[in-house]
């Protein structure tokens, strides 16, 4: 929206809220990147260190909650301002969830480091992780730029992701059938893949808040989804 | 208290007042420029805008209060139930009984509480007996949510009441002549927050029986009590629509700047 507020400290508040979201998002992205790194390296110690850092994101989310209530109380924002404050509150929640999911990946990495490696499947999981990491980065750029086209682009990208998840699911089921000793590793990898897939959903939520914030409407069309893993059956040969 | 209409209303069917290309001139100065506004029946319509934007001038046109201002001229049409109230053959006294008004500062007459409310029914000869008049006074005070507070001292001076009570007395006085429309020009601006909340609650109840048009400087108040809102700026009606829409997603940049407190 054109023009600054007559009360300049109101602009300061809104900018502060933006910075908090960017800080949270940056942390969430870094946590995911390092969680994937620890997973690929089968490094339990690194995984433990990263998992412990999740509290930083939790703390920031609480700060955003409190500050949002303060801004709502003191400024009583309307129209685009109101939508901006509400979007920040909601985005903080999704970023916090992304942080939780990274922590869970770290915990599973600690378990995985004690069982034989699952080479190629691990590669696919890492690729999914990097894809979602890029989605997080792009959605934060879109958030700050208030760029709906960029947000919509990320929103649609979640689909390629669903395809990867489905093919990985089939792959892991096949491994488990081939050799029951793979079940522990494969099950953890399935959950990790599911975690990453959930992160993608959280990113698309933020894409929807950006649309709400900028144009004041929600996406009418259904998001393109291609996660067939819930329907997948792999029968023994 | 309702924040928004339960369902969007059909304006064409529910219109109580329809302003068409209304212009108001003070001498050569055009204070209102071609305003067309639909005011639905039994709803609260809020008029907002910066000082001097014409919202009060427009409000006063709806019961011809501008007639008393020298050099003031109103053109266009204001249709109330199918009749153009700007037409010269309209009985203005009767019109003002149908379209009552409540002002910014409570202005009770220096008379008893009873006589304040009974004043209108008396001059309009609405009653034939004292007991009938008693009933109207009691009913009106009840409608204004004041009866319980004053029932044992109806003969005391209206000016001795608190500000909020005085304003409710003025509302009782307005409803005593059984109007259909009530105009309110910043009815709470001289009241504290508790008295304001009582008036807002009252307005919300009154919309079951009356069509209410309210000018307010408080955006939050407009958002709380109205179902429709019109935004005036420099004599233009920039935007009109459902209140929720205006305060969450205004269409015009000038509306957005005004309600979010930006430099337009």
Question: What DSSP letter does each residue of B144-193 carry, written as one string?
Answer: TT-HHHHTT-TTSBGGGS-HHHHHHHHHHHHHTT--SEEEEESTTTTS-H
Query: Does residue B6 surpass a pLDDT of 80?
Result: no
Query: What are the residues facing B6 on neighbouring strands?
Result: none
Let me know if residue A181 belongs to a domain.
yes
Domains of chain B: 13-260 (3.40.50.300)
Please tell me whether residue A216 adopts helix, strand or coil conformation: coil
User: If you average pLDDT over every residue of chain B, what do you get?
Assistant: 92
Let me know if residue A2 belongs to a domain.
no
| Domain with A103 in it | 8-231
Sign of the dihedral through C-alpha B199, B204, B206, B212:
positive
Q: Each residue of B90-101: pLDDT tens digit? A: 999 999 999 999
Counting every residue, how long is chain B? 264
Percentage with pLDDT > 70 across chain A: 98
Let me know if residue A167 belongs to a domain.
yes
Closest CB to B260 among A80, A216, A217: A80
At B2 the pLDDT is 41
Predicted confidence band of residue B3 (pLDDT cuts 50, 70, 90): very low
State pTM to two decimals: 0.86
At A224 the pLDDT is 73
Distance CA B40, CA B44 (A): 8
Q: Each residue of A149-208: pLDDT tens digit? A: 999 999 988 778 888 888 899 999 999 999 999 999 999 999 999 999 999 999 999 999
Best to test chain B binding among A1, A9, A71, A78 (most B CBs inside 10 Å): A78
* Chain-centroid distance, C-alpha B47: 10
| Contact call for residues A87 and A213 (beta carbons, < 8 A) | yes
Residue B229, sorted as left (phi over 0), alpha (psi -120 to 50) or beta, turns out to be beta
Query: Does residue A113 surpass a pLDDT of 80?
Result: yes
- Count of structural domains, chain A: 1
Q: Each residue of A204-225: pLDDT tens digit? A: 999 999 999 999 987 777 777 7
Quote ipTM for the complex: 0.79
Let me know if residue A1 belongs to a domain.
no
Q: What is the average per-residue pLDDT within B37-54? A: 96
Residue ranges of B 212-241 with Cβ closer than 8 A to chain A: 219-220, 223
Query: What CATH code is carried by the domain that includes residue A194?
Result: 1.20.58.220
Predicted confidence band of residue B12 (pLDDT cuts 50, 70, 90): low
The pair phi, psi for residue B80, each rounded to 5°, is -110, 115
Let me know if residue A53 belongs to a domain.
yes
Closest CB to B261 among A2, A7, A216: A7
The answer to which of A10-14, B12-16, B133-137, B238-242 has the lowest mean pLDDT is B12-16
A130, A217, B199 from B137: Cα distances, Å:
76, 49, 19
Q: B193 at the A interface (CB within 8 A)?
A: no
| Contact call for residues B255 and B231 (beta carbons, < 8 A) | yes
Using DSSP, how many helices (H) and how many strands (E) does chain A show?
Answer: 7, 0
Å between B50 CA and nearest CA of chain A: 14
Q: At what angle do helices A119-145 and A183-215 cross, to 10 degrees?
A: 10
The pair phi, psi for residue A85, each rounded to 5°, is -65, -45
CB contact under 8 A, A79 and B256: yes
Query: Does residue B142 surpass a pLDDT of 80?
Result: yes
Distance CA B151, CA B159 (A): 16
Q: Each residue of A38-64: pLDDT tens digit? A: 999 999 999 999 999 999 999 999 999
Q: B11 at the A interface (CB within 8 A)?
A: no
Let me know if residue A3 belongs to a domain.
no
Burial B106-137 (b: 16+ CB within 10 A, else e): bebeeebbbbbbbbbbeeeebbeeeeebeebb
Let me know if residue A86 belongs to a domain.
yes
Query: Does residue B78 surpass a pLDDT of 60?
Result: yes
Counting every residue, how long is chain A? 237
Å between B218 CA and nearest CA of chain A: 12
Please tell me whether residue B10 adopts helix, strand or coil conformation: coil
Distance CA A130, CA A225 (A): 19
Nearest-by-CA chain B residue for A8: B262
At B5 the pLDDT is 46
At B62 the pLDDT is 96
CB contact under 8 A, B249 and A217: yes
Terminal alpha carbon distance of chain A: 61
Q: B210 at the A interface (CB within 8 A)?
A: no
Percentage with pLDDT > 90 across chain A: 80
Let me know if residue A237 belongs to a domain.
no
Å between A11 CA and nearest CA of chain B: 10
Q: Each residue of B86-129: pLDDT tens digit? A: 999 999 999 999 999 999 999 999 999 999 999 999 998 888 89
Å between B43 CA and nearest CA of chain A: 22
Nearest-by-CA chain A residue for B222: A78
Q: Which residues lie closer than 8 Å to B96 by C-beta, 6 or more apart?
A: B63, B64
A163's tokens: 């395809």
At A2 the pLDDT is 52
The DSSP 8-state label assigned to residue B233 in this structure reads E
| Contact call for residues B16 and B82 (beta carbons, < 8 A) | no
């Amino acid at each position: 929206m054109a023009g600054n507020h007559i009360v300049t400290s109101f602009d300061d508040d809104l900018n502060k809220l933006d910075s908090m979201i960017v800080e949270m998002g940056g942390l969430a992205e870094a946590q995911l990147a390092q969680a994937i790194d620890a997973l690929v390296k089968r490094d339990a110690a690194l995984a433990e260190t990263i998992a412990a850092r999740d509290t930083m994101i939790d703390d920031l989310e609480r700060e955003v909650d409190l500050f949002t209530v303060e801004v709502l109380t003191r400024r009583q924002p309307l129209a685009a301002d109101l939508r901006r404050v509400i979007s920040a509150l909601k985005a903080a929640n999704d970023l916090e969830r992304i942080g939780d999911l990274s922590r869970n990946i770290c915990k599973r990495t600690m378990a995985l480091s004690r069982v034989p490696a699952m080479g190629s499947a691990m590669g696919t999981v890492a690729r999914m992780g990097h894809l979602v990491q890029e989605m997080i980065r792009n959605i934060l750029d879109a958030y700050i730029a208030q760029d709906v086209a960029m947000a919509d682009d990320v929103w649609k990208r979640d689909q390629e992701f669903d395809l990867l998840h489905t093919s990985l699911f089939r792959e892991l089921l096949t491994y488990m059938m081939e050799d029951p000793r793979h079940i522990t590793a494969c099950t953890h990898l399935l959950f990790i893949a599911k975690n990453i897939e959930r992160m993608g959903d959280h990113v698309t939520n933020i894409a929807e808040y950006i649309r709400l914030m900028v144009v004041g409407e929600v996406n009418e069309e259904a998001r393109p989804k291609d996660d067939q893993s819930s329907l997948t059956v792999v029968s023994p040969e | 208290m309702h924040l928004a209409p339960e369902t969007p209303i059909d304006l064409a069917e529910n219109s109580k007042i329809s302003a068409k290309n209304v212009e108001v001139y003070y001498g050569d100065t055009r204070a209102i420029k071609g305003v067309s506004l639909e005011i639905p029946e039994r709803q609260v319509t809020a008029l907002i805008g910066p000082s001097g934007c014409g919202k009060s001038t427009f409000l006063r046109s709806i019961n011809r209060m501008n007639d008393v201002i020298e050099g003031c001229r109103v053109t266009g049409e204001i249709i109330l139930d199918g009749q153009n109230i700007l037409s010269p053959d309209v009985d203005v006294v009767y019109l003002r009984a149908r379209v009552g008004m409540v002002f910014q500062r409570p202005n009770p007459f220096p008379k008893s509480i009873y006589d304040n409310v009974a004043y209108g029914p008396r001059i309009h000869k609405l009653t034939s007996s004292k007991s009938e008049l008693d009933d109207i006074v009691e009913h009106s005070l009840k409608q204004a949510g004041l009866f319980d507070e004053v029932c044992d001292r109806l003969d005391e001076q209206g000016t001795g009441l608190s500000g909020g009570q005085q304003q409710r007395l003025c509302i009782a006085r307005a409803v005593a002549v059984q109007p259909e429309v009530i105009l309110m020009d910043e009815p709470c601006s001289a009241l504290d927050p508790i008295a304001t909340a009582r008036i807002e609650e009252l307005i919300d109840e009154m919309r079951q029986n009356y069509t209410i048009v309210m000018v307010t400087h408080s955006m939050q108040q407009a958002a709380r009590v109205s179902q429709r809102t019109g935004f005036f700026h420099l004599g233009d009606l920039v935007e009109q629509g459902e209140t929720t829409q205006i305060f969450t997603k205004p269409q015009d940049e000038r509306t957005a700047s005004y309600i979010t407190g930006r430099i337009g």
